[in-house]
C-alpha cells in the first residue's frame, strides 16, 4: 500500500465482507454477522 489510509480502507472493506458476506463452513455456511444476529445476545446490536 502507498499509504496507511489506503490500507485502512481496504481492511475495512475486507472485514465487512468477511463478517457479513463470506460463508463460514463452521457456521453452516452462514456469515458470522448473520449467525450472531440469531442469538439472544446484546452484542448483536453493535454489528
Domain ranges of the chain: 4-46
pLDDT at 32: 85
pLDDT at 27: 87
User: What is the chain's pLDDT, residue by residue, as a tens digit (47 residues)?
Assistant: 999 999 999 999 999 999 899 998 888 898 888 877 666 666 555 55
Q: 8 vs 1, 25, 26, 46, CA distance in Å?
A: 10, 27, 28, 20
Q: Write down the pTM of the prediction.
A: 0.62
pLDDT at 44: 52
Amino acid at each position: 500500500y502507498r499509504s496507511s489510509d489506503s490500507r485502512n480502507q481496504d481492511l475495512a472493506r475486507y472485514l465487512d465482507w468477511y463478517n457479513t458476506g463470506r460463508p463460514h463452513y463452521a457456521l453452516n455456511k452462514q456469515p458470522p454477522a448473520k449467525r450472531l444476529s440469531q442469538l439472544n445476545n446484546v452484542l448483536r446490536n453493535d454489528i
